[in-house]
Every structure is written in structure tokens, then in C-alpha cells.
Amino acid sequence: MNAVIINRGQRRRAVVSSLIGNSIEFYEFLVYGLFSSLYFNKLFFPSFDPATGTLLSLSTFAVAFAGRPLGAFLFGHFGDRAGRKTTLIITLVVMGGATVSIGLLPTYATIGVAAPILLTVLRFIQGCSLGGESSGGFLMALESAQPNRRGLLTAIVGTGNAWGLLLANGVLLLVTALPERQVLSWGWRLPFVFSAVLMAIALQVRLRLAETPEFERSKAEGAVRNRPAIDVLTRYGLITLGASLSALPTFLVFYLGSVFSLKYGASIDVGRPVMLVLLVGSCVFLIAAMPFFGWLGDRYNRKAVYVGGIVVMTVAPFAWFSLLDTGSFPLMALGFLLLFAGFAANYGVQGAFCPRLFPTVVRYSGMSISYNVGGLLGGAVSPIIATSLLDRFHSWTPIAVYMAAAGVIALAATAFLRERSDGAAPQRPAAAALATATSPGLTTARS
């Protein structure tokens, strides 16, 4: 076997480039969610009443989640066939191009119904890109890391969603400081056009990356598969389904906490600046907490930390809404802390736990497809469902029950998942398929 050696500098570049890329991709993805919940109903759906316009605007937010599994399948295939580095460069350019195009898009007042149609198409392209990027960044860090630091380094990459949300909220705070007339005229475009600068910086860093040693080893051994994404669905279908369902509360908590919270804050007369400050504080907490939980998973039991996070996310929504209703800033901050504590534990180890449910040769496809199917089921319509439930029942209780139900489903699915060991001998394809069909979470193979 040809050994592939990676030095400390290469490891550092893999983590830094993945963190920067992940942060920018999530910034571009999330800044859309924030602006769609506040302004796009007026800019792209003005012929509807405000409530309907907001729902239609949030529907374009959901469209991206429909694109994420497609992007996961497509980019997962190329990530397992052509390599992690090349695929991540492509996803970065695609996301950046779509985001800048949104900032240059004419509104309904200029081109009529073509405006929301073009907005929907560009949002779908954003989703396709993120479907390949989010998992690939984890793999660059995971496959370059020493075994006892996988959780820590992938958790650092995972903080990219918090950095992206922090940057998106910071930009939103600056833009909303303008008079609303100017925001609706030209100010809303600035966060999207700004992505061109971010993309140029990230691209320069990413071009200097080396390919991961685990992929190079698989390539040298001739183990790269012709149809890795198809293999994931046919040979590892039950693992993929289990991993997808285990991610449901992760997506609900993140997108309801970051996007729907602005809508809920307005319904209880909490000002938008207050909610944005709370979200910024939550981001700072996540940036510190996720690496801690990643380290904890390396030191003890990664699956236990993963499951513990799901348990907290199952019960925390009841406390979150109750504390928000007090209107007291310290208590509301405590509510966000409780809500995101479970997310930090779960997501802090997810980047090391979920990819290692699959063998190296289909890992990009397996992680991408399972993660983004979970995003489609858990994140796509969650702001719409939460908004509809709030408008219908005028109570947060149905929303909290909805979030808790997702947690129960995730706990049941996670019970069948298990990381693959490093030392077990590789299985023959037929034996691997049989083992997957009979005991999907208990199979061990060399990763």
C-alpha cells in the first residue's frame, strides 16, 4: 500500500480553508433567509397581502432545500470520483455566482412575475451548491486529521454555520440602520453583492489546498468507484435513511432559531434589533461550544455526545419559547442558550460521526446525501410550518411539539447508527451489501 503523508501545515490549511469556505457558503445561504423573512415579500411578492407575501417569500427559502439533495448527489459523485478539493472549488464558485446574481436581480416592480421566478431559480442553485459544500468541508478536515483529533477539527469547520450567521446578522444590522425606503430601494442588494469579495478570498485559499490523504490512498489502490452516489443508495440505503432522520432536529433548531425567531419576536413585540443581538450572542456561544463538544467526542464517546444533543434539542423548545415570552433580555438570552446547547453538542460531533458511517470510497456521497435529505425534511418547510402554526393557533405550543416530535424520530433513527472502525479488514462488495441490508448501523469496514 502506498503511504500518503500529510504534514501539520497541510492539516492546518485543510481546516482553515474548509472553515472559510463553510462560513462564506452559510453566510450566502442564511443572508437570503434573513432578508426573505423581512423584505422579499415587498420586493418580489407585492401583489399579495403581507401574510401571504411572507409565506411565499419563505417558500423561496425552502426551494433551496429541494436543491440540496440534488447537489449532494451530483457533487457527492464528483467528490468521490474526482476528489474533494476540485469539487469544493466548484461549489464555492457556483454559490458565489448565484448569490451575487440575486443582488443584481430586478424586482417585481421592474420586470413583474419574472422577478420571483428568477429569484426561485437562483435560490435553487444556491441549494445545489450548499448540498455539495457543507459535507465536503467536513471531509477535508476529517481525512486530513489525526485519529484522536477528528472531532475537534471537524467541529472547528462546523462553526462555519455560526460564523456565517454572525456575518449575515452583522450585515443585516448595518443595512437595517438605513431608512426602510433606502433598504427597499438599494440597500437590500449590498449583502448579496458583497459575496463577490468573500468568494475571491475563499477561492484563493482553497486553490492552495492539497487533496486529502485518504482519497489519494483510495485512488492509488484503484478503489475509487464508478457510481459512488448510486452505490450509497443501493448498498447503504438504510444507513443513509437513518443518518437523514437523525439530522431532523439539528435543522429545525438551527433554522427556526435563526430565521423564524425574527418573525416570532415581532409577534410578541420584541424589536428586531433585540432579536438580532440575541442571535449574535448565540453565534458567539456556538463558536466556542462546538469545538468543545468535538473535543469531548474525541476523548470519550462521539455517539453519546451526538445523542445527548438530540435529547436536549427535543425538550429545549418549550423552555425557549417560554423564556422569549417574558420579554426580559437576560431570560431570552438564556432561552437561546438552552436551545442552541443541544445543537452545539450534536453538530459539534456530526462532522466526524456521520461521514464515518460510510466507507471512504463513498463517503462524500453518503455524508452529502444523508445530511441534505435531512435538511430537506427538517429545514425546508420548518419556517413555513412554524409561521402557519403561529398564525393559526396564536400559540407557540404546537411549534414546540413539532420540534419535539422531530427529536423523538431522530433518537429512534440514531439507535441504529455506528461509526466504522479503522482497523477492520475491508469487505467484499457482496458481503458489504448483505451486511448493510441486514444490519445497517452495525457493519464495520476499513474507512
Q: What's residue 169's pLDDT?
A: 81
Is the CB of residue 344 less than 8 Å from the CB of residue 293?
yes
Q: What's residue 3's pLDDT?
A: 44
Q: What's residue 57's pLDDT?
A: 65
Question: What are the grid coordinates assigned to 265, written together?
Answer: 419576536
Q: Could you tell me which of 107, 383, 85 has the C-alpha nearest to residue 213?
A: 85
- The Cα–Cα gap between 139 and 150 comes to 10
Q: Could you tell me which of 21, 25, 3, 77 has the C-alpha nearest to residue 209?
A: 21
- The Cα–Cα gap between 210 and 10 comes to 7
Q: What residues in the chain have per-residue pLDDT under 70?
A: 1-7, 37, 47-59, 61, 421-447
Q: What's residue 408's pLDDT?
A: 97
Question: What are the grid coordinates assigned to 12, written together?
Answer: 492546518
Alpha-carbon Rg for the chain in angstroms:
21
- The Cα–Cα gap between 395 and 274 comes to 21
Whole-angstrom CA distances from 66 to 23, 153, 237 are 21, 29, 19
Q: What's residue 11's pLDDT?
A: 77
- The Cα–Cα gap between 232 and 214 comes to 18
Q: What's residue 443's pLDDT?
A: 37
What region, left, alpha or beta, does residue 409 occupy, with left being phi > 0 and alpha being psi -120 to 50 degrees? alpha
What DSSP state is assigned to residue 188? G
Q: What's residue 427's pLDDT?
A: 39
Which domains occur in the chain, in start order? 1-212 (1.20.1250.20)
Tell me the whole-structure pTM to 2 decimals.
0.81
pLDDT tens string 188-238: 999 999 989 988 888 888 888 888 888 888 888 887 888 888 999 999 999
Whole-angstrom CA distances from 410 to 13, 311, 356, 370, 404 are 34, 9, 18, 13, 10
